[in-house]
Amino acid sequence: MYMRTITLMAAPSQLPRTLRSDATEALAVDLGWCARMAARRITGEMDKGLAAAGLTSAQFDLLCLIASAPDDTLGGLAERAGLNQSTMSRNVDMLVSAGLVEVAMVEDDRRRRAVWLTETGARRLAAALPVWRAAHQALAAKLGSVISRNFVDASVVLDAAEAAGRR
C-alpha cells in the first residue's frame, strides 16, 4: 500500500516565531547592518577600479582628505574622517611608508602633527583621479542615480545631525 504525505502551508502570520526568523527579519531591515554590507561591497568595487592606479579606495580617500584639508593636523584629519587619532595615525603611517605623505611636529605646539602630501603623493593622487572617476561612474551606473544620491544625502544629513548635537 502506498501513502501520500501532504504538507499544508500555514499563512505567514500563523507561523511560529523563532529566534532565527526574528534575527533574519532584523538583519533584512537593520540600517547598520545594511550600511556595513553596502560599504564593503562599494569599497570592493572601488578597490578593483583603483587597482590600476596602485591605490586602495581607503588610500585614495585619505590622500583626498589630506589634499583637501582646511586643517592639516592629524587631529583635524581624524575629526573630518570620524576616526580617533590613533587610527588616523596608523593609516597616515602607511602612506608615510609609501612615500606619499610627510608628517612633522607643528612649531607652536609640539603635541600636534601636521600632515601633507609629498610630491610623489600629489602626483599619485592626480594620476588616480581619472581612474577614480571612471570607477565611480561605473559603480554609480550599477547602483542607479537615486541610490547613489541617497548615500550622499544620508551622509550629509548624519553629519549635520552630529554637528548639531555638538553645539
Asked if residue 118 lies in contact with residue 101, where contact means CB atoms within 8 angstroms, the answer is yes
Predicted confidence pLDDT, tens digits, the chain (167 residues): 555 655 555 566 666 789 999 999 999 999 999 999 999 999 999 999 999 999 999 999 999 999 998 778 999 999 999 999 999 999 999 999 999 999 998 877 777 899 999 999 999 999 999 999 999 999 999 999 999 999 999 999 998 998 888 76
The DSSP bridge partners found for residue 114 are 73, 104
d(CA 11, CA 134): 48
Q: Measured between alpha carbons, how far is 110 from 22 in angstroms, rounded to an integer?
A: 53
Task: Return the domain boundaries, the chain.
Answer: 37-166
For the whole model, what pTM was predicted?
0.81
- Return the axis-axis angle of helices 145-166 and 119-143, rounded to nearest 10°: 120
Q: Which residues contact 80 (CB under 8 A, 6 or more apart)?
A: 65, 69, 71
Instruction: Identify the architecture of domain 37-166 in CATH.
Output: Orthogonal Bundle (1.10)
